[in-house]
Amino acid sequence: MFYVFYVNQGYMQPLEVTAALGSVHKLQGAIEEATRVPLAEQVLLVSGGDGLQSDRPVAHYQGAGTDSNPVFLFCKLSKGENQESASPQENAELNEMCAGLLEQLRSFENLTISGALIMRYGEASRQSRDVCDCAMQLCARLVQDHQLLHQGWLALMSNLDDSRAQLEKRAERFYAHYERLKTMKGKAQTILQEFEAVIDTLHKITIPSALLANSSKFEGGNKPNEECTLYDYISCADPQSSLKDVVDQVQLLLAKIDDSEHTKVVTLLKLVAEQTSKQEVRDIRGINLRLMQLDSHLRSLERTLIFTHHVDLHADRAADNLDVVFKQREQMEEVKKIVEQLQKTAKAFAQSKLELLNNIRTRLSGWILQLAKTLAPLEQMTPECLAHEAPRLSEHDVPDFEPSTEKYLHNGILHAKIALHGVAERVPSGAAGHY
């Protein structure tokens, strides 16, 4: 069998081993069929916190899927979602067995002492052993459920820490990129200031018509015939892309580059760090003491089981002696007390598990859900777009920009430099002397 522990509901779900022979995606399909948890809502972790990737084979996660080291299943929750378990009471079978045994023993009290009654007591003593075995198995499983609930929670905390560490590494790349972008923006603003001064100067330079007559034609035959400014002359060379357009486009881009995304990342990471470091919600208070107490009670049940076996043996040896019926009744009175105590112990174990389960459910639907909402924008912001691109621009505001802001900014500055350096080449001979 392949074992999956469903943390939200607190029970072990065994699956056919064939479900784990392929990919994790195939395993998720089997889990969905068995637990009714949609594949999209499943979060699968191994002990230690590593998440199962749907495209990998299950065999990649060596050692996972045993009854002592199951895969932990979490169901993604929405705030206020009902998490109540639909499964019946876990001690229902034991209660039914105890009730049947006690009813049988009460019916013996009014029967006449006989060999048949002695045989019935002998059978009842064997039933008491079965009841004790059932209680022992139930309580042992409840103790294991306690342990697995705790292990599942620790796996989630480890996964959370790993996710935070990965985000911080990616954010560091973003911070470095942001500093480069700030430097580039400063240089661009300096160039634009000089560029605007040059454009003003170009508007002031007048080219006499005599000089224009000696100038070469531009591509397409576009050339001014009358006296014009140097700016107009240059614009005729490329009417589709003026110098002013370059300045306007780069200025528009620079206006979009500010500290907002950087501030947002810093704020969110700080909030995540604060939320994930809260020990009062990370640690399940008193869990170690609880597990020690449960283990102690379990050892006590083992001693009780030995006693019921002795009762069974005494009944068998005395089966041919009618005088021992009184001793049998005395022994069965002790058995009745044991059975009643077993019910109380099993109920206490089940109640303890429910308390722990509800504790974890509260954290999942509260703290973890809130933390997931905080992490969501970081998960979207800090993949490659944060490491290799500038802060995002509104595509409605700038519909024709290149996907990479840094690339466009670089190209804009380069075009501006080329335009500035090309002014001298475009000025007709003798025009500079009129300035």
In the chain, domain spans? 2-75, 90-206+234-384
**Residue 216: pLDDT band with limits 50, 70, 90:** low
> Which CATH architecture is the domain 2-75 placed in?
Roll (3.10)
Out of 102-111, 118-127, 351-360, the most confident range is 351-360
pLDDT digits (tens, 9 = 90+) for 167-188: 888 888 878 888 888 888 888 8
Residue 153 has pLDDT above 80, yes or no: yes
Burial track 317-353 (b if 16+ CB lie within 10 A, e otherwise): ebeeeeebbeebeebbeebbebbeebbebbebbbebb
* Token pair 């999209």: residue: 40
* Of 12-21, 143-152, 308-317, minimum mean pLDDT range: 308-317
How far, in whole angstroms, is CA 72 from its chain's centroid? 13
CB 5 within 8 A of CB 70: yes
* Of 12-26, 96-110, 186-200, 211-225, minimum mean pLDDT range: 211-225
Rounded CA-CA distance 364/368 in Å is 5
CATH class of the domain comprising 90-206+234-384: mainly alpha
Which pLDDT value is given to residue 197?
Answer: 78
Amino acid at 165: A
Residue 205 has pLDDT above 50, yes or no: yes
> Which residues have a Cβ under 8 Å from the Cβ of 65 and sit 6 or more positions away?
2, 3, 4, 20, 58, 71
Which pLDDT value is given to residue 384?
Answer: 44
Indicate the length of the chain as a whole number.
435
CB 18 within 8 A of CB 128: no
User: Which secondary structure element, helix H or strand E, spans residue 66, and what is its range?
Assistant: none
pTM, rounded to two decimals: 0.71
Phi-psi region of 89 (alpha: psi -120 to 50; beta: other; left: phi over 0): beta
**Residue 404: pLDDT band with limits 50, 70, 90:** very low
CA torsion through residues 223, 225, 231, 235, sign: negative
Amino acid at 312: D
pLDDT digits (tens, 9 = 90+) for 219-247: 545 566 677 888 887 777 666 766 777 77
Amino acid at 277: S
The mean pLDDT of 6-16, rounded to a whole number, is 94
* Token pair 């008193």: residue: 286
Rounded CA-CA distance 184/191 in Å is 11
